[in-house]
C-alpha cells in the first residue's frame, strides 16, 4: 500500500471547539510608594490590601496588566493608644508578562494576588498643627497570565474501510467551548445610615456567594453585593456601615444546556451613593455589576493521531486536558478574643481568601490558604457602638483527584458556605466561631498532540458527529449543514422516528469529502 494511494476510506469527524494554549507565564512586580498616615504611629497592626480593576491587553509576545491596589491600614496611635484606620489613596500599577507567541486579539486569563505588604518608617513632620508620619510602602504582586486562542477544528475520530490495527488513536478529555457572553446588572437600593451622614468618604464593594445555574440558552447568576460604606458624620468623625444586597441576573448564552460547566467572572464597575438632603440618615445607591460567563462541556473523544502507510493531514493541538475535578467542605472552628466585651455580632463578617496555594501530589491536591475575616460587633457599655476586629485562620484541605500527578496544574476556587458565632456569657470578649468553607479543584495537564484532520478518500460522503442541542429538530439540523433529512436518516439507521431526537444524542451528518 503506497503512501500516496487513494483509498476508499470513510473518515468520521467531530467538531471540537477548544481553547488552544499559546503560552503561560508568571511574573512578580514590586510597587514602591511613599505614603502618609495622620499622627504619631506606634505600630501598624494590619494592612487590608486588595487588587481591583485588573485589566489585561495582549500584544506581540507579551501581556500588559494594569490594576489598582486598594489598602486600609490599621495602626495604633502613639499619643492615645487607640486603634485607628486610614484608607490610602488607590495606587495604579502596570506590568508586562512575557508570553512568547502571544498576539493581539488572542484570549487571556489573568490571576493576580498580593504576596507581601511592608512599611518602613521614614520621618515625621508637622503640617497645619498636625503630625504627619511618612512611610515607604512595598507591595509585591504575583501575576499569572495564560494566553489562548479559540479554535474550531474538525478532527477525525474513526476511519472505516481499513484494518483497525493500522489506525492509532488517543483519548482526549478537554473542555469544549459552548459559548460565552457578558451582561451588566444595575442594583439600585435605599441605604440607611446608623446616624446622619455629611458625605461619603469611601465605598468598598465586593461580589460574594456567587451561585450559577445553566438552563437552556441561558445562565442564571445569583450573588451578594457586599459593601463597606465609610461616611463622615458630625465633627468630621468617620463611621462605617456594612450592607448586603442579593441580586439575580440572566446572561444569554446560545447553546447552553443544563449540566454544562460554567465559569463566572463578576466585577463591580461602578458604585455610588447619594445622601438624601432632607433625611441624611438615608441614601440612594446605584451599583453596576459586569458579569462575564463562559459555558463549556467536558468531552471525551478518541481522536485519530495516525493511519499507518496513509498520507494524512495533521494539525498540532495544544490544550489543557482535564485530569479530574473534586470538591470538599472543610470546617474551621476557633476561639476568638474581641478587643472589647461584645453585646452581639453586628451582621455577617466580611470574608476573603488569601495566599491560597494548591500542591498536586499523586492522586491528590493539597490546598493551603488563609481565611481572613473582619468581624463587626456591638460593644457593651453606655454607648453601644459598632467595633470590628480581624482574624486570620490558616487551613489545609486534601482533595482526592485520581490520576493527578506532580507537574499537573490545579485551578482552585473557594467560598464561605456558613459562619456562626457564639459569645461566651461569662466572658463576653471570648467568641466561639465555626466556619464552613467549600474548596473546588480542577486538575489539568498541558498536552501537545498531532491529530488527523484529513485523509485521502474517494468521492464518498465524509461523516461528521453532531451532538443534538436543546430545541434541535432534524429539519433544523439539515438546514444548518445544507443536507436533506433523508440523507441524515440514511446514515443514521438507529433513528426510527424522525420526529424523536434527544438533547445530547450523537448523530452522523453527511457532508462532501475534503479533497
Q: Average of pLDDT values for 450-471?
A: 76
Name the pLDDT band for 513 (thresholds 50, 70, 90): very low
pLDDT digit string, tens, across residues 81-109: 777 778 888 889 999 999 999 999 898 98
CA distance readout (Å), 48 to 42, 53, 351, 390? 18, 17, 11, 10
In sequence order, the 6+-apart residues with CB closer than 8 A to the CB of 22 are 99, 101, 102, 103, 106, 147, 148, 149, 318
CA distance readout (Å), 434 to 223, 231, 335? 22, 31, 9
Q: Which of 265, 259, 251, 232 is nearest to 179 (CA)?
A: 251
Q: Which of 318, 23, 253 is nearest to 147 (CA)?
A: 23
Q: Which domains does the chain have, with CATH numbers?
A: 21-149 (no CATH), 179-298 (no CATH), 325-447 (no CATH), 464-515 (3.10.350.10)
Look at the alpha carbons of 64, 65, 66, 69 in this order and tell me if their dihedral is positive or negative: negative
C-alpha cell at 389: 476586629
If one compares 283 and 202, the residue with the highest pLDDT of the two is: 283
Q: Average of pLDDT values for 499-511?
A: 86
C-alpha cell at 338: 474581641
What mean pLDDT, rounded, does the chain reach? 86
Ramachandran angles phi, psi of 80, nearest 5°: -105, -20
Ramachandran angles phi, psi of 57, nearest 5°: -145, 130
Quick one: pLDDT at residue 2?
A: 37
Quick one: pLDDT at residue 382?
A: 66
Name the region of 61 (left: φ>0; alpha: ψ -120 to 50; beta: rest). Answer: left
pTM here? 0.64
CA distance readout (Å), 91 to 32, 54, 57, 204, 502? 10, 12, 19, 15, 54
Q: Average of pLDDT values for 347-360?
A: 84
Quick one: pLDDT at residue 7?
A: 45
Quick one: pLDDT at residue 104?
A: 92
Name the pLDDT band for 512 (thresholds 50, 70, 90): low
CA–CA separation, 131 and 39 (whole Å): 5
Look at the alpha carbons of 189, 195, 201, 206 in this order and tell me if their dihedral is positive or negative: negative
Q: Average of pLDDT values for 223-250?
A: 84
In sequence order, the 6+-apart residues with CB closer than 8 A to the CB of 492 are 507, 508
Ramachandran angles phi, psi of 477, nearest 5°: -65, -40
Q: For residue 479, give the H/E element and its range.
A: helix 474-481
Name the pLDDT band for 151 (thresholds 50, 70, 90): confident
Q: Helix, strand, or coil here: 369?
A: strand
Quick one: pLDDT at residue 340?
A: 87
Quick one: pLDDT at residue 292?
A: 92
CA–CA separation, 327 and 91 (whole Å): 36
Quick one: pLDDT at residue 409?
A: 86
Q: Which of 388, 372, 365 is nearest to 332 (CA)?
A: 372
Quick one: pLDDT at residue 330?
A: 94
Chain centroid offset of residue 343 CA = 37
Burial class (CB in 10 A: 0-12, 13-18, 19+), 501: middle
pLDDT digit string, tens, across residues 473-483: 898 888 888 88
Quick one: pLDDT at residue 514?
A: 46
Percent of the chain surpassing pLDDT 70 = 95
Ramachandran angles phi, psi of 476, nearest 5°: -60, -40
Dmax (CA) for the chain in angstroms is 97
Kindly report the number of other CB atoms within 10 A of residue 512's CB atom: 11
- 269-278, 296-305, 375-384: which range is least confident on average? 375-384
Name the pLDDT band for 460 (thresholds 50, 70, 90): very low
If one compares 432 and 127, the residue with the highest pLDDT of the two is: 432
Q: Average of pLDDT values for 214-242?
A: 85
Quick one: pLDDT at residue 1?
A: 38
For residue 172, pLDDT beyond 90: no
Q: Helix, strand, or coil here: 234?
A: helix
Q: Helix, strand, or coil here: 485?
A: helix
pLDDT digit string, tens, across residues 28-66: 899 898 999 988 998 888 788 888 888 899 999 999 999
Quick one: pLDDT at residue 500?
A: 87
Q: Which of 494, 253, 229 is nearest to 386 (CA)?
A: 229
Dihedral (Cα; 279, 280, 286, 289), 10-degree rounding: -140
Quick one: pLDDT at residue 129?
A: 83
The partner residues of 146 in beta bridges, in order of sequence, read: 24, 109
E strands in 39-166:
41-59, 62-77, 83-98, 107-127, 130-160
Amino acid at each position: 500500500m503506497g503512501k500516496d494511494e487513494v483509498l476508499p476510506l470513510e473518515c468520521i469527524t467531530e467538531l471540537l471547539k477548544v481553547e488552544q494554549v499559546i503560552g503561560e507565564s508568571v511574573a512578580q512586580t514590586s510597587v514602591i510608594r511613599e505614603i502618609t498616615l495622620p499622627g504619631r504611629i506606634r505600630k501598624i497592626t494590619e494592612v487590608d490590601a486588595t487588587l481591583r480593576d485588573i485589566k489585561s491587553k495582549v500584544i506581540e509576545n507579551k501581556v500588559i496588566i494594569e490594576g489598582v491596589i486598594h489598602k486600609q491600614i490599621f495602626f495604633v496611635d502613639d499619643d492615645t493608644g487607640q486603634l485607628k484606620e486610614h484608607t490610602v489613596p488607590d495606587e495604579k500599577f502596570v506590568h508586562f508578562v512575557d508570553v512568547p507567541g502571544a498576539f493581539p486579539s488572542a484570549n487571556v486569563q489573568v490571576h493576580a494576588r498580593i504576596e507581601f505588604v511592608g512599611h518602613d518608617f521614614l520621618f515625621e513632620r508637622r503640617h497645619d498643627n498636625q503630625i504627619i508620619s511618612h512611610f515607604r510602602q512595598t507591595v509585591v504582586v504575583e501575576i499569572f497570565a495564560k494566553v489562548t486562542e479559540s479554535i474550531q477544528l474538525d478532527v477525525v475520530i474513526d476511519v472505516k474501510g481499513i484494518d483497525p490495527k493500522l489506525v492509532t488513536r488517543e483519548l482526549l478529555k478537554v473542555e469544549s467551548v459552548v459559548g460565552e457572553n457578558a451582561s451588566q446588572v444595575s442594583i439600585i437600593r435605599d441605604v440607611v445610615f446608623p446616624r446622619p451622614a455629611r458625605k461619603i468618604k469611601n465605598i468598598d464593594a465586593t461580589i460574594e456567594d456567587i451561585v450559577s445555574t445553566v438552563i437552556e440558552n441561558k445562565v442564571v447568576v445569583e450573588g451578594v453585593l457586599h459593601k463597606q460604606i465609610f461616611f463622615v458624620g458630625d465633627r468630621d468623625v468617620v463611621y462605617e456601615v456594612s450592607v448586603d444586597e442579593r441580586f439575580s441576573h440572566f446572561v444569554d448564552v446560545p447553546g447552553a444546556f443544563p449540566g454544562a460547566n460554567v465559569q463566572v467572572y463578576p466585577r463591580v464597575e461602578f458604585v455610588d451613593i447619594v445622601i438624601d438632603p432632607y433625611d441624611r440618615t438615608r441614601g440612594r445607591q446605584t451599583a453596576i455589576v459586569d458579569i462575564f460567563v463562559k459555558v463549556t462541556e467536558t468531552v471525551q473523544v478518541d481522536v485519530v493521531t495516525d493511519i499507518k502507510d496513509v498520507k494524512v493531514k495533521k494539525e498540532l493541538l495544544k490544550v489543557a486536558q482535564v485530569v479530574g475535578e473534586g470538591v470538599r467542605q472543610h470546617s474551621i472552628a476557633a476561639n476568638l478574643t474581641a478587643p472589647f466585651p461584645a453585646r452581639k455580632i453586628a451582621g455577617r463578617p466580611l470574608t476573603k481568601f488569601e495566599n491560597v496555594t494548591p500542591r498536586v501530589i499523586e492522586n491528590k491536591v493539597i490546598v493551603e490558604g488563609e481565611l481572613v475575616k473582619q468581624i463587626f460587633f456591638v460593644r457593651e457599655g453606655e454607648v453601644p457602638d459598632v467595633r470590628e476586629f480581624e482574624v486570620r485562620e490558616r487551613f489545609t484541605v486534601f482533595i482526592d483527584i485520581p490520576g493527578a500527578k506532580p507537574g499537573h496544574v490545579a485551578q482552585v476556587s473557594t467560598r464561605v458556605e456558613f459562619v456562626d458565632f457564639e459569645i461566651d456569657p461569662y466572658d463576653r470578649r471570648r467568641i466561639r466561631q465555626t466556619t464552613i468553607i467549600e474548596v473546588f479543584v480542577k486538575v489539568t495537564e498541558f498536552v501537545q498532540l498531532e491529530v488527523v484532520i484529513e485523509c485521502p478518500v474517494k468521492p464518498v460522503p465524509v461523516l461528521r458527529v453532531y451532538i443534538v442541542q436543546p430545541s434541535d429538530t432534524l429539519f433544523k439540523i439539515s438546514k444548518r449543514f445544507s443536507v436533506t433529512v433523508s440523507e441524515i436518516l440514511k446514515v443514521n439507521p438507529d433513528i426510527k422516528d424522525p420526529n424523536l431526537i434527544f438533547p445530547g444524542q450523537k448523530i452522523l451528518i453527511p457532508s462532501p469529502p475534503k479533497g
